[in-house]
Chains A and B, each alone.
Chain A
Amino acid sequence: MKKLLLLIVLMFSVLTSFGQTKTIEGVSEYKLIKSGTLDDKNNEVDGFYFFYKVDNLKKGKAEYVIVLLDKNLNEVARKKYIDDKKISLVDAAYNGDQISLIFINYKQKVIKTVGYNRKGELLEPYEFEVSEKDLKFISGMGKRFGLNQIIQIYPIDNKGYIISYMTLIKKMKYRMHYISTSGGKNWMFGEYKKDKLHRSMQVYGYNDKVIVFAEINRKSLMSKKTSHHLKVVNIDNGKVIFEKEFNKDSKNVEDLIMMTNASFTDEHIILMGEYYPDYKSTKKLKSDGLFLQKYTYAGEKISDERISWKDEIFSKFQELNNEKGKNFIFFHNIIKVDEGYIGIGEQYRKRASAGGIAAFALGGGSSADISNLVITDAFFFKFSENFELVDIVKFDKGKSKVPNIAGLSSPQIGALVAKARGDFDYVNTQKDSKNNRLYSTFIDYERLKGEKNKYSYKTIIYQDGEFKESKFYLSNKNKSIKAYPAKLGHVMIYEYDKKTKKSTLHLEKVEVE
């Protein structure tokens, strides 16, 4: 999705007068180097940025221009920025206090943030050193996956930013830097200099008090033996409030959990995901059900609610399930609402591929060819405040067949890989806390009777305790249409008129009558 967003914001350059316009005789060019969105943890787009190089200056310096558009696509700032020629803009974010852009400066060997306050004034930059080896690693990985996948920025509301990146200290390790924008203390997390483990991280949620993430450790990159540590770190000082570990020696079955996401209230940290009966099941991701654990911010466990597939969810799911075979639900998110919790999932099943099996048997194919994942309907699970299942609501979607890259592994592992590849139809969910609403978006491929199949942009809106669907098609006879995330409760629509060859970009409210 991020890549798609980059594509769309590139198109903005057409709209801005500062686009890649050539001046007389090509004497001077405004070269667009990077553009992107300023989005927050709720998948809301707060604005858009464009980074241009406009001039080469003496002593290895260059003049750049940073153009910022607000969430309504109005240009609000055009700032001059002088720095070394050898820099890359990684990404930018807005935390309610300031707009920060992260740069890598290859000459000075630093990662640095350049910030503007809400008056548009340039603030003192913050930078930290990076070794030559790490720079090469970041640059190489960045070329392959995108720099903003290797260095990530998490805006902490009105407080600061966390920047995470990978470093090569003996082995591959993650590191986090917290930069306060409100006069607080800066800290660094991940000082694992001596150990010989590869350590990676996955963030499940954060607010202005804590960041919740999993640290995944393994001895070698190809090793299947991993240990998972769930860590909850205090934003103000970078100290671990509590952590949980599970590995093959784990004795405490209660801790055999796999997070989907973390959510927060003023008093509690809420961890949500799937639980497992034993360590072996975790390897195949064969969970027993869903869990919801509540902790205080001091790390005291308040509750641990569990709901099993077998006893509680399965029968209700089967009532709605029209598909044959063994079907599963992949949970994309579990979100706190005023009435309790809403689980958002998609139905899938593993299906053998006849052609793939034949090719595999003859030695001509890979294990990935022998099966597909069939992704079907969207399911919304309504849970009470005590995490009891209240209702399941299904929304029909067309069948999507995607290759099961995990091949001979369990369907659950196949689904996890499909999720990482972006193969599911689910796009994201925005939460409107003020009005207790959710907007969950899917891109669906619909097979229509008597007309050409079409992609549709489907948003399931949770409003006044009910789920309703809002939908529009992403093509018609004369236009090709693309839809992208935008500010809360909106969609950004790009239309290309095939006849006039004109394109337009506009924001529209997502709603049902």
Chain B
Amino acid sequence: MNRKNIVALCFFMTWCFLSYSQTNKNEYSYSNFGKREQVIQQIEKVIKQKKDEVYSDKYKKDKVEIYDNMLVSLKGNFNDSVYVFNKILNDKLTSIFEKIVASNPQIIQQSHYTLIDKNIIPNASSYGNGLFTVNLGLFFLLESDAELAFVLSHEYAHQELKHSKAKIDSMMSAFNSEDLKNNTKRIKKMKYGKGTAARAFLKKMNFAFKKNSRKNELEADSLGFQFYKKTGFDVNASVSALEKLGKLEELVFKEEVNWKSLFNVNGYKFDFTLLEEEEMMFDLDAKTNDYEINKDSIRSHPHIKERVEKIKEKEITIASEETNNEYKELSRIAKKLCVKTSIDHAKLDIAFYLISSEIAKGNEEYYEDLGSLLKKLYFIKKNRLIGKEIPHPNDRWNEENLNSIRKFMHNISLYQLKKLSKAFLTYHIEEKNRKELESYYTFYKQL
């Protein structure tokens, strides 16, 4: 290669790197919509209110410290782009919250602000004082305004019941209780078995906290259902929403990647040795732990079955089957957003899983994302960051399909990646005329 070509290649690589790091960076960030400062102010206002509420409380200093840490964590999430802004999704959440509040004038805290977390796991939470977070994954699962309204009513009930504050109050009371002081004194005096006694005591405390948390969830279900009923939505949707959340483990990462259909193109044959199991020290499906404690005792939420039964006591018998097209679109937006944020934040295993499952369903718009992912994977591997960004396969999480993606990403060499990507991109440009892949094709061709 002559000097001219080397200079050209260096320029190209630099351009690619810059364009890679700048691509769509702000598409979903609060800053892009000029909302970042406004939202941070809103969060600061909420935390200030919380601090004011504990002004005359016992253990005020400790509680203020907890809220200060909460503020730092929430602000930090903005720096780490944990929260994403999408007008359609944010408007949808706002409209449902408004409906709940309008239907329930007795609700004390009428104002509300919701942050969307890019997390794929369907979940929502209430920070109290009008601040809520909803994970993108919730839009993958729910299929109607009614189901979303039930979930948000539940979160509103947590707020109305001041569970967030109650949790901190009970922790502070426990940590400063006579019981704890006496037990600490007793254990300290022990000549032998201090550790065992301390662990047993801590276990008891932990179980008590979690028991209380489960009780709070049932209370939030009950009050949430009252709020929800007044919205006028189909009451049966409360059961269908809960049942969908109950099937979470079956639904998340359930789809296998079809490696052959994705990559066996243009004469390229996918190398399945990349997915081979490594020989490990232990031949076990899960971690062996002599100190394991009963998982049911440390659940923060009751079993869905119990929650559904409690709701059904309110004369609901049939789970709603309602599916509407609007929610198909919201789910599509959420998935696209999740893929984009995952690629941008190097969560390529999650992004690959979503992309491959959508392509398998015939969603053509995800080919461009796959091109973008293959380019990002090249940079991450080239810069020796794959071990930092992508977790190693770990059987204990029972995420077989995600694990196979992680094996692929860890085991593929740069040489193999170039070969695979070139074959994939050439096929889709030349045979399928996917013009949106051209920049990635050029990138790999120039390497």
User: A residues bordering B, Cβ < 8 Å?
Assistant: 23-25, 27-30, 38, 46-47, 54-58, 63, 65, 68, 70-80, 94, 96, 99, 118-120, 472, 487, 493, 495, 504, 506-509, 511-513
Neighbouring B residues of A495 by C-beta, 8 Å: 388
What separation, in Å, do the CA atoms of A80 and B202 have in the docked complex? 18
Determine whether B230 belongs to the interface, using a CB cutoff of 8 Å to chain A. no
What separation, in Å, do the CA atoms of A229 and B180 have in the docked complex? 67
Q: Taking CB as reference atom, which chain B residue is nearest A472?
A: B384
Contact between chains at B194 and A508 (CB < 8 Å): no
Name the one of B180, B199, B288, B418 contacting A76, with C-beta atoms under 8 angstroms. Answer: B288
Determine whether B410 belongs to the interface, using a CB cutoff of 8 Å to chain A. yes
Name the one of B184, B394, B410, B413 contacting A24, with C-beta atoms under 8 angstroms. Answer: B184
Assess A79 versus B288: contact at CB under 8 Å? Given A74-B392, A511-B414. Answer: yes
Scoring B residues 318 to 358 as 1 if CB is less than 8 Å from chain A, else 0, what string do you get? 00000000000000000000000000000000000000000
What separation, in Å, do the CA atoms of A118 and B180 have in the docked complex? 41
Contact between chains at B284 and A76 (CB < 8 Å): yes
Assess A38 versus B191: contact at CB under 8 Å? Given A23-B202, A504-B388. Answer: no
Q: Taking CB as reference atom, which chain A residue is nearest B283?
A: A118
User: B residues bordering A, Cβ < 8 Å?
Assistant: 175, 180, 184, 187-188, 191-199, 202, 278-284, 287-291, 381-382, 384-388, 392-394, 396, 410-411, 413-415, 418
Contact between chains at B393 and A72 (CB < 8 Å): yes
What separation, in Å, do the CA atoms of A65 and B280 have in the docked complex? 21
Quote the shortest CB–CB distance from A214 to chain B (angstroms).
32
Contact between chains at B202 and A24 (CB < 8 Å): yes
> Chain B CB within 10 Å — which of A28, A30, A94 has the most?
A28
Contact between chains at A77 and B192 (CB < 8 Å): no
A55-B196, A76-B288 are known; give 20 further A-B pairs, CB within 8 A.
A27-B194, A28-B187, A28-B197, A28-B198, A47-B281, A55-B195, A56-B191, A56-B192, A63-B195, A65-B291, A68-B282, A72-B278, A74-B394, A120-B288, A493-B384, A507-B392, A508-B387, A509-B411, A511-B413, A511-B414
Contact between chains at B288 and A506 (CB < 8 Å): no
Name the one of A24, A56, A99 contacting B281, with C-beta atoms under 8 angstroms. Answer: A99
Contact between chains at A119 and B282 (CB < 8 Å): yes
Contact between chains at B198 and A506 (CB < 8 Å): no
21 contacts between A and B (CB under 8 A): A28-B194, A29-B195, A38-B281, A55-B194, A56-B193, A70-B281, A70-B282, A73-B392, A74-B392, A76-B282, A76-B287, A77-B287, A78-B289, A119-B288, A495-B388, A507-B387, A507-B392, A508-B384, A509-B410, A509-B411, A513-B415
Neighbouring A residues of B194 by C-beta, 8 Å: 27-28, 55-56
Neighbouring B residues of A55 by C-beta, 8 Å: 192-196
Assess A78 versus B284: contact at CB under 8 Å? Given A24-B180, A493-B387. Answer: no
What separation, in Å, do the CA atoms of A72 and B392 have in the docked complex? 6
Q: Taking CB as reference atom, which chain A residue is nearest B187?
A: A27
Assess A120 versus B284: contact at CB under 8 Å? Given A25-B184, A78-B290. Answer: yes
Neighbouring A residues of B386 by C-beta, 8 Å: 508-509
> Chain B CB within 10 Å — which of A63, A73, A76, A119 has the most?
A76
Neighbouring A residues of B288 by C-beta, 8 Å: 76-79, 119-120
Neighbouring A residues of B385 by C-beta, 8 Å: 506, 508
Contact between chains at B392 and A509 (CB < 8 Å): no
Assess A513 versus B280: contact at CB under 8 Å? Given A28-B195, A80-B290. Answer: no
Contact between chains at B281 and A513 (CB < 8 Å): no
Q: Taking CB as reference atom, which chain A residue is nearest B412?
A: A509
Neighbouring A residues of B415 by C-beta, 8 Å: 511, 513
Quote the shortest CB–CB distance from A490 to chain B (angstroms).
8
Neighbouring B residues of A68 by C-beta, 8 Å: 281-282
Q: Taking CB as reference atom, which chain A residue is nearest B202?
A: A23
Contact between chains at B198 and A509 (CB < 8 Å): no
**Pairs A-B, 7 closest by C-beta atoms:** A506-B387, A55-B195, A120-B288, A72-B392, A28-B198, A80-B290, A507-B387
Q: Taking CB as reference atom, which chain B residue is nearest A121?
A: B288
Neighbouring B residues of A78 by C-beta, 8 Å: 287-291
Assess A120 versus B282: contact at CB under 8 Å? Given A24-B202, A472-B384, A508-B384. Answer: yes
Neighbouring B residues of A46 by C-beta, 8 Å: 281
Assess A119 versus B284: contact at CB under 8 Å? Given A55-B195, A511-B413. Answer: yes
Q: Taking CB as reference atom, which chain A residue is nearest B413?
A: A511
Neighbouring A residues of B198 by C-beta, 8 Å: 23-24, 27-28
Contact between chains at A77 and B396 (CB < 8 Å): no
Neighbouring B residues of A58 by C-beta, 8 Å: 192-193
Contact between chains at B387 and A54 (CB < 8 Å): no
Neighbouring B residues of A96 by C-beta, 8 Å: 279
Contact between chains at B195 and A74 (CB < 8 Å): no
Quote the shortest CB–CB distance from B107 to chain A (angstroms).
38
Contact between chains at A77 and B188 (CB < 8 Å): no
What separation, in Å, do the CA atoms of A56 and B418 have in the docked complex? 57
Quote the shortest CB–CB distance from A91 to chain B (angstroms).
15
What separation, in Å, do the CA atoms of A91 and B290 have in the docked complex? 22
Quote the shortest CB–CB distance from B184 to chain A (angstroms).
5
Neighbouring A residues of B290 by C-beta, 8 Å: 78-80
Neighbouring B residues of A508 by C-beta, 8 Å: 384-387
What separation, in Å, do the CA atoms of A57 and B418 have in the docked complex? 59
Q: Taking CB as reference atom, which chain A residue is nearest B416?
A: A511
Quote the shortest CB–CB distance from A159 to chain B (angstroms).
16
What separation, in Å, do the CA atoms of A77 and B184 have in the docked complex? 29
> Chain A CB within 10 Å — which of B289, B381, B384, B396 has the most?
B384
Q: Taking CB as reference atom, which chain A residue is nearest B279?
A: A96
Quote the shortest CB–CB distance from B293 to chain A (angstroms).
12
Name the one of B175, B199, B281, B418 contacting A94, with C-beta atoms under 8 angstroms. Answer: B281
Assess A71 versus B278: contact at CB under 8 Å? Given A23-B198, A28-B198, A77-B287. Answer: yes
What separation, in Å, do the CA atoms of A512 and B291 have in the docked complex? 44
Q: Taking CB as reference atom, which chain A residue is nearest B406?
A: A72
Neighbouring A residues of B283 by C-beta, 8 Å: 118-119
Q: Taking CB as reference atom, which chain B residue is nearest A47?
A: B281
> Chain A CB within 10 Å — which of B180, B184, B287 has the most?
B287
What separation, in Å, do the CA atoms of A388 and B414 have in the docked complex? 34
Neighbouring A residues of B291 by C-beta, 8 Å: 65, 78, 80
What separation, in Å, do the CA atoms of A99 and B192 have in the docked complex? 30
What separation, in Å, do the CA atoms of A355 and B328 have in the docked complex? 81
What separation, in Å, do the CA atoms of A71 and B197 have in the docked complex? 34
Quote the shortest CB–CB distance from B274 to chain A (angstroms).
12
Assess A76 versus B281: contact at CB under 8 Å? Given A28-B187, A511-B414. Answer: yes
Quote the shortest CB–CB distance from B252 to chain A (angstroms).
20
Contact between chains at A509 and B381 (CB < 8 Å): yes
Neighbouring A residues of B413 by C-beta, 8 Å: 509, 511
What separation, in Å, do the CA atoms of A58 and B283 have in the docked complex? 35
What separation, in Å, do the CA atoms of A472 and B384 have in the docked complex? 9
Neighbouring B residues of A487 by C-beta, 8 Å: 278
Q: Taking CB as reference atom, which chain B residue is nearest A59?
A: B192
Quote the shortest CB–CB distance from B165 to chain A (angstroms).
23
Neighbouring B residues of A472 by C-beta, 8 Å: 384
Contact between chains at B196 and A72 (CB < 8 Å): no
What separation, in Å, do the CA atoms of A506 and B410 have in the docked complex? 12
Contact between chains at A63 and B196 (CB < 8 Å): yes
Quote the shortest CB–CB distance from A99 to chain B (angstroms).
6
Contact between chains at A27 and B188 (CB < 8 Å): yes
What separation, in Å, do the CA atoms of A39 and B278 have in the docked complex? 16
Q: Taking CB as reference atom, which chain B residue is nearest A77?
A: B288
Contact between chains at A71 and B187 (CB < 8 Å): no
What separation, in Å, do the CA atoms of A107 and B347 have in the docked complex? 53
What separation, in Å, do the CA atoms of A70 and B394 have in the docked complex? 10
Quote the shortest CB–CB distance from A503 to chain B (angstroms).
11
Neighbouring A residues of B396 by C-beta, 8 Å: 74
Neighbouring A residues of B414 by C-beta, 8 Å: 511-513
